[in-house]
Structure 1
Amino acid sequence: MAPPRDPDDRRPDPDALLALAGPGRRGRLKVFLGASPGVGKTYAMLQGARRLKADGIDVVIGLVETHGRAETAALTADLEILPRRIVDHGGRAIAEFDLDSALARRPKLIVVDELAHTNAPDSRHPKRWQDVDELLDAGIDVWTALNIQHLESLKDVVGRITGVTVRETVPDTVLQEADDVVLVDITPDELIERLRDGKVYMADTARRAIDNFFTPGNLTALRELALRRTADRVDDQMVEILRQKAIEGPWGSSERLMVLIGGGPESERLVRRTASLATALNAGFVALHAERPGADEADPGRAKATTEALRLAESLGAETARIAVRDFVEDVLRYARRENVTQIVVGRSARSTVARLLRRSPADRLIRRSREIGVTVVADEEAHVGTPLWRAGLSDPRHLGRETLVAAVAVAGAVGVGEALTHFLKLPNLSMVFLTAVLFAAARTGTRAAVIAAFLSFFAYNFFFIPPLYTFTIAEPHELLALVVFLIVAVMTGSLAGRVREQSRQAWQRAEASQALSSFTSKLSAAADVDGVAEATVAHAHRALGGRALLLLPRDGDLELQAAWPPDEGLDTAEISAARWAFEKAEVAGWRTGTLPKARFQFRPLVTPRGVVGVIGFEPPDQAAPLPADLDRSLAAIVEQAAIALDRSLLFGEAVKAAALQENEAVRDALLASLSHDLRTPLATITGAVTTLSELGEAMTPAARRELLGSIEQEAARLNRFVANLIDMSRIESGAVKIKRDWVDVADAIRTAVGRADKVYPAESTTVSLAPDLPFVRGDAQLLEQVLFNLLDNAHKYGGERGVAVHARQQGPEIVISVTDEGPGVKPADLDRIFEKFFRAGRADGRKPGTGLGLSICRGLVAAMGGTIKAESPAVRRRGTRIVVRLPAAEVPADTGVATGARA
């Protein structure tokens, strides 16, 4: 148990502080909300934009609709207006908001009018509010305008009030997440007066509007909705302030609603009603679809309606879930208690008197057994919650003809068998024969065929085997009773047999899906690398969904197609954009989504605890219909398993790289040991020469003494170079190298470096070729000389027997210096590695001269002077190595006193 909290220890709510910090990473959204058109939202928005422009804020108009109002148009005169994007739709040019231009312009604030607008087909987003959301993600502040009737949860309410169907809507979450909401309000009388004065619409349009939509009653009701929604928003902001300032409550427990979604047309109305209730209560809500076995598979219409309703709920900010139920009420209540639901919203279906007498409705049973959970019943004559279990499988008319034929054949066979039996035997009752026909029809085609066979058997049994024969008249009362009992038993038995068949078929389908998923998981486990995982994923997705599948992975800052099935599948520009959106936003994009819904493919991100590792795309088997629930579940499993497998493969690759780095460290340790040997070698030579001179100097000839002194000088210089290289490398890695910014004569630096190299390698030739009038560079003359000497030293060690060539010339704004040898060259794989510390390519005889630091030092010093260095091999006659240094040329001002001119 947690210890009691100190009353004086009042800390701000962490979630509230995070919400306060959130806008810094995203643009701010300001919504000008009105009860109806004509209240002055755009006018107020433009007035505010002009004030900010006068204060020096970068304000741009992305799109404003003036509707011919001169006063509104005048406010745009001094503001920058982005050109619109022209879209050809059905031979008609449509001017749309240009999202890409706005992102490229990237102002501090952009004004985008009419938030609920539907974009032209083939736009990146179907709705303008989604364009605004992308602008906010890019860090751009947005001002926009919205009428209250365009909120999704109020669509039905406004329709009942005004009699007008609202076709363009905005999810309530857009308004809830807005940073500022400004209510632009005038009284109904003032608005009607503006209409009559022609300040809203043209004269003819205004008269029609006053007679229809703009009535005092409609305007008053819409005004109340706008005021209530704004008040709710203000209340939310006040709560956030109290939490941020740690002002304590009391805080009551929050409400949590749950709406039950069936498969009927009323589902979307229930979702909107629940969203409205949740907003009024400042509560979250869950949309639940309780699936009875076989109901959705047997009726595609129900499945489609359910999917659309769940998608609407998600757009309104709800959590969505599907559960399989055996006892509808008990399983729904169990889920509600687990999710801490306080109220359940359910529709009441229209039921006959007999049905009400035989069994309570689902809503009645929920009310009776819910106890601590409240139940809100939304009455609608067309509404129904779920489908009674006995109707499962009976609503699909596509196979009715075949089922009727099977039932008729089965009953005809029963009649034939009965006639044969009565011809040879005297049987008192043949009902078992017809019952067998009913069971046969149930086993072959299902419940509906069994019910049809039961009724056909009822009439056939009466006609052929109950006296008087070949009539539908029944002579004896007990025969009538037996026939009625037979019909009841046949219907019940056939229904149960048909249900068993359906359950068996579904169990087989689930087993097949489980087997396929198990096989897929095994293949993923066996895949050794990313390519294997990608191939297994797209192949299984293709088999499971029946359409084309592909997988894209990030590489070099962009998405690349890693695998596809069929293998020749490609993507167009819109589909690539949808895939990038799914990867960058970790959201589903493409077909039947809010982003590029016209694309052939739907793209789903592969999300892992480390982030999005890739994107899987699939082409649905039917572009016109939503993805069936079973396929959607299969796809979700594929995405989850593929994400885990890819993450595992990537981690394995990183582990291999880490092992390689560890191995490199071991190699470097060995090279350092070798380096210590290289340092001791010149010391030993110097020590031996000094000892010889001290002991035998008087007895030695002058030539012998000069030779020993030359050895001492040569080895001391070699030792000095080793130590200097180590010091330079240490300075470069620690960032202690201080680069002077003097005017450096490249030709002089080259000559000095060549002179040093000639002293070290007197037996080897160096050819120098310098272009005339080489410009100066800004840098450090001593360090540039060191770079050039290291390059010459390296060239003589690895290929100097054939001579070394130095060239310098101007190429555009750069000075290009190259040092070329004619040695054995460098392997292509080692061209970049030769600039690494301690890397030594070695000679043909296997010896590795030097410390492996010279070229690494060159790279660090050249980079510090703003240049680049690279190696090329082969260089001359298919052999040799060329090291190319590029430094930016500098113009010497006339008043510096630095001499310029030709250099030989």
Structure 2
Amino acid sequence: MAGSERKGEKQRPDPDALLALASKEARGKLTVFLGAAPGVGKTFAMLARAQSLKAASDIVVGLVETHGRAETAGLLEGLEVLPRRTVPYRGQTIEEFDIDAALARKPGIIIVDELAHTNAPESRHPKRYQDVEELIRAGIDVWTAMNIQHLEGLSDVVARITGVAVRETVPDSVLKLADEVIVVDITPAELIQRLKDGKVYVPDNARRAIDGFFKPGTLTALRELALRRTADRVDDQMVDFLRQNVIEGPWATAERLLVCVGPQSSSEKLVRAASRLADGLNAPWTAVHLERAGEELNPRADNARIDETLRLAERLGAETMRVSASDFATEILRIARRENVTQIVLGRSAAGWWSHLRGKCLSDAIMRQASDIGVHIIADEEVEPSSAPRWRLPAFKFGSIAALATAGSVAGAVLIGLGLQLIVKLPNVSMLFMMAVLLCAIYFGRWYAISAAALSFFAYNFFFIPPVYTLTIAEPHEFFALILFLIVAVLAGGLAGRIHDQAETVRKRSASTQALYEFSRKLSGAVKLDDVLWASASHLRNALKADVVLLLPEDGELQVKLSWPPDVTLDGTEMTAARWALDKAEPAGRGSGTLPNLAFQFRPLLTPRGVIGVCGFRQGKATPPLEAGEERELAALLDQTAIALDRALLTRESAKTAALKQSEKLNSALLSSLSHDLRTPLSSIIGAVTTLRQLGEKMSAASHDDLLASIEEEAGRLSRFVSNLLDMTRLEGGALRPKRDWVDVCDVIRAAADRGRKAFPERAIEVSLALDLPLVRGDGALLQQVLFNLIDNANKYGGADAPTSIFARRDGGDVVISVTDLGKGVPPADLERIFDKFVRRGKVDGRVAGTGLGLSISRGFIEAMGGSIKAESPAVRKRGTRIVIRLPAADANVGERSPP
């Protein structure tokens, strides 16, 4: 590599960076939607983005797996979807992404889901990420999605965290190839709630997933891996930008280390120290060896030692460089700024005092020039002597340097005073000694100032009070002046030194206050409990340099809510100490009067409402007890943590209260609906029965039959109301247990249509069934009830004299059933809301129709059988509504995936 650049020489962009940029311009762009775990919403986010850009871009869906999620499937509406390629496999037909169709269509952007998928045998590429690479090489932009556990470089880490070996992986180079990485992230608590709500897996699979893979600690660790890997990718992109645009760093957005190594035996220790520092910061690092331009190392052993040191650095995870330069300090800083290095690690220089004086010491030169880069000097007891002179200044400790500086300041005052007396006759030079005293006070504190005053007392007497060069004082007034000088010097020095000490104390307190302010600001923006726990644990970890665990009571038991690092666990004895701290509101564990031999110390989190939780921290065995100042800072941090947790808990309780109020409103709506909808058919039945009893013999046979038909119709209507209410009660109470029988969809549809024709004889019902409909696994009675509810809904809102159409077909591994009416339709904003309880679409014949439970019950039944249901409007010729049901076919496994 070339030496340091000359002053004024125009800098040029890095050639490698420009070549990389040019290669990117010639290919398509890769966008990866990255998640920590299944169910966080990667596919949903990808399709939502496609919906927002479809008007301005040529976007095609190559392959998307909805896994039966209605919300995700709804986002496919309006997007062009390429047909899938069918492949026979072990007696079954499976569907795969058709790369040839994608290349022939060549859209601007193509969506290809599940990047880690393994293709069927005899496909062009064994893995889907290879299909994506071919699409990119063809100039097509690709959007894809994957979970962090599928990254090959993290597979062993994920296996240790989750206890599950990941079989389908993607090379790390694929993520590095990505032009854009979008993290789709939700909190562990929200993801677990989505599982419980059935939005990720069917109920049976969801329960197994919560007990196994989807634990809060596991999800937190995976979330950290996803965020860290994304941050690393963004940092690499920033370095490329700096190189391409000839911008000097560092931009301190992430830590990067550079360590300088040489032929000394201490270089191995230096490399290991840099490795530990980089691991602690989770930062990339580079090992650099510099040689003088035009010179070679004389001893062959030196070359071998350098090679071995660089190989050690590579084994420890560093990048290595060998650079030739004439000015080491300038070249090191040039490399540091080009690589966006934020910290430089050096060994203690073996240069002599003469090199220090001339500014030729490498460490001194780098520290003098690196105003924007941190420099670490690693001490070594075995620093090898150089060819510099052997006599050098000793390595004094700070106290020794301060003492020498004190003596030197007094000696300097003597020399200046003697020199001035050779030029001009001065009556009093005591002010020179006073200046020395004040300088010592300002820089070293009051005790060194007092020492300087004492030394000045004797020096002033010896050199300037006659008879000079003795400690004898001839004149009484000289004696009193000397004593007065001593008193003034001691007072002035003590006062200035006290100001120095107070300034140092203020500086420390200011740093502590700033840390508390940053912590308070961070907590003020956290509303959710998980966010407060995360912010508190990370800040306490940094402040205490200790493992931290936060525990909160739940259902009468104290439970670990968050630990940092995530793998921290508590045994039975430690949990006993934590419960003691919660119950007694006093510290327990290490350093306390309760179980003092534990590694953890537990502190109660106190609020005006009492103890709301416990914070535990584990420091090293050799760590001394906290000092008074540290104890105060810890108390302040715990108080802020307790207040923030209390606020988050109150917010959660407030949300529960709001939910209860909403539930009360729904109950009121239910009672109001019942009072109206049940009274109407009962009134009709009572009126008809009364008329028959009073006028039965006088009525004509036609009128008699009309009244009986009215009674039958209203009784059937009343029966449907009561049946819907009972079904909703079963759904909400969790008492619904659908059967898992083989169901013939054709028989169920025909039975529901016949029932609809009897209930609504004035409404035409058309049925169209495909010939290849397979069986489905489910409950035939529930499916028939769902279809009848949909026919009833179509009868209410389908318009006069318009038929109701029922159509069934096979779509891949699903059976699709649709019920269509030709009414005025549903606004797009209400397509999902109509499945909520008590939501009714409008008035029929001047009155509100039904209780608003039919579609809600239908969704509950279908999802209980592992299917999905959604509404589409308009359906036919810009009018009408179509309700679409999807149920997995019994002879296919598409969509029935287990947790990873």
Instruction: Provide the TM-score with structure 2 as the length reference.
Output: 0.40
Instruction: Provide the TM-score with structure 1 as the length reference.
Output: 0.39
